[in-house]
Amino acid sequence: MTDYPWDEGSATGVGSHPGEDGRPPLKTVFDELPVPYLPELPGRGVGADLIGRTASLLVELPVEVQPSGWRFSDRPGRDFKRARDHLLRDLDLLEEESQGYAGAFKIQICGPWTLAGAIELRYGDKTLADKGAVRDLVDSLADGLAAHVADVRKRVPGAELIVQIDEPGLPGVLAGMVPTASGFGRIAAVEAQVAAERLGRVLSVADFPIVHCCAPQVPFSVLGTAGARGISLDASLLRRADEDHIGEAIEAGTAFLLGVVPGVDSRLPAPNVAAKPAVELWRRLGFRPEDLARQVVLTPRCGLAGASPGYAKAALIRCREAARVLREDPEAE
């Protein structure tokens, strides 16, 4: 039987929150969720975005912001320092808020393929277009993540650490749909085996790595080959054609973090309605109801940065309530 770092009937968030002050969302995730996490606040601006925040972890690959976006630079500058300062400030708040905490805890970073499709090289092309540059980026990210994980463990010594790798750009990388820096062409598709190997290099740093992909056509086989212990996705985007792949992953012990609550302000579904996609998927695939709450964690469909603070908190509470349905009444209609 596969061990998971969370208890049965757990819920968590994807990562991003509204606002600029890190303390309120940290308090929310520790007060309301079985699996708290380090919130991200992209509303702060440059350096707090998904790309900049993760780029601040890179070892010996400094970045800066150009009109076209993030680009590698010769030396760390103002943009790199701003991104790093945002992260260090959040880690200091985490250390304060988590005093005495023991249990599952999640951190998030951008994955190597999404990063490679977003950051430009010094001469202007995207990193993704240069195989050698991709390899350097992957090694730098793995080393940076290892240092980040060690820092978080020192600050939250009771944590059973889950590392979420965000790869919304991976389906486009595999399909050859990422535009060149000029925007007039497309970068050639990356072979599935190469994608899995490079992603696996980063995942290998974590004890329990999961991959989040809120885009359609999640590449389940690539994620499995790469060594993902869990897959986080938007349940509303699942197709019946995905279910064979999902069934194989569940049989292999892969956890699923299913997004079941809207990430922007809307009428929240009742707990049993929010739980329904997970219950119905499990039933269609023929797995034992008593295993559902152990292997599935409920989340919002994506990040909460576009929501109001009040809704963000309510959405996480509703995920927690829906997860309780999985544990207490997994065969409910």
**Average pLDDT of the chain?**
96
User: Each residue of 14-58: pLDDT tens digit?
Assistant: 999 999 999 999 999 999 999 999 999 999 999 999 999 999 999
User: Each residue of 143-193: pLDDT tens digit?
Assistant: 999 999 999 999 999 999 999 999 999 999 999 999 998 888 999 999 999
Say how far apart CA 281 and CA 291 lie, in whole Å.
13
Say how far apart CA 79 and CA 56 lie, in whole Å.
9
Strand order in the sheet with 255-261: 103-110, 159-166, 208-212, 230-234, 255-261, 296-300
Beta bridge partners of 209: 163
Residue 333's pLDDT band, with cuts at 50, 70 and 90, is low
Say how far apart CA 133 and CA 138 lie, in whole Å.
9
Residue 102's pLDDT band, with cuts at 50, 70 and 90, is very high
| Cβ neighbours of residue 308 closer than 8 Å, sequence gap 6 or more | 18, 265
Say how far apart CA 208 and CA 161 lie, in whole Å.
7
Say how far apart CA 114 and CA 65 lie, in whole Å.
17
User: What average pLDDT does the segment 61-65 reach?
Assistant: 95
- Measured N-to-C along each axis, helices 78-97 and 23-32 cross at an angle, to the nearest 10 degrees, of 40
pLDDT at position 130 is 97
With a cut of 80, say whether residue 332 has pLDDT above it.
no
Of the chain, the percentage scoring pLDDT greater than 70 comes to 98
Residue 124's pLDDT band, with cuts at 50, 70 and 90, is confident
Residue 329's pLDDT band, with cuts at 50, 70 and 90, is confident
Say how far apart CA 205 and CA 112 lie, in whole Å.
13
